[in-house]
Amino acid sequence: LGGGGGFGAGRSGMEEVDDSRRAQQALSMAFAILMSSWQSSKDMNVRIGAMETLGHLCLVIPKDLFLTNADALLELVVNLLTRQGGPAS
């Protein structure tokens, strides 16, 4: 397959590192906002969707941010499942 022409083609390594850093900061901020705000929702579908989103974000945020919040996340998941009466089907 030919090179060039794709996303990031012709960009310097420094630009790509800077973009990666900015993306990681944005994802970390989204994680922090979602962690602090979704619990106030009375809608169970919103709460479940927020937990699913947090799960996906855990894969792309810095490891230290995840580890700092891991206990709280586990407690929130257990509480959500307890209120719901078991795992979502």
The maximal CA–CA distance of the chain, rounded, in angstroms, is 54
The mean predicted confidence, pLDDT, of the chain is 82
User: Residue 53: exposed, middle, or buried by beta-carbon count in 10 A (0-12, 13-18, 19+)?
Assistant: middle
- Residue-wise pLDDT for 32-66, tens only, equals 999 888 878 888 888 889 889 999 999 999 999 99
pLDDT tier, 9 (very low <50, low <70, confident <90, very high otherwise): low
Q: Is the pLDDT of residue 27 over 90?
A: yes
**Exposed (0-12), middle (13-18) or buried (19+): which is 70, by Cβ within 10 Å?**
exposed
- Which pair of structure tokens corresponds to residue 14? 């420094």
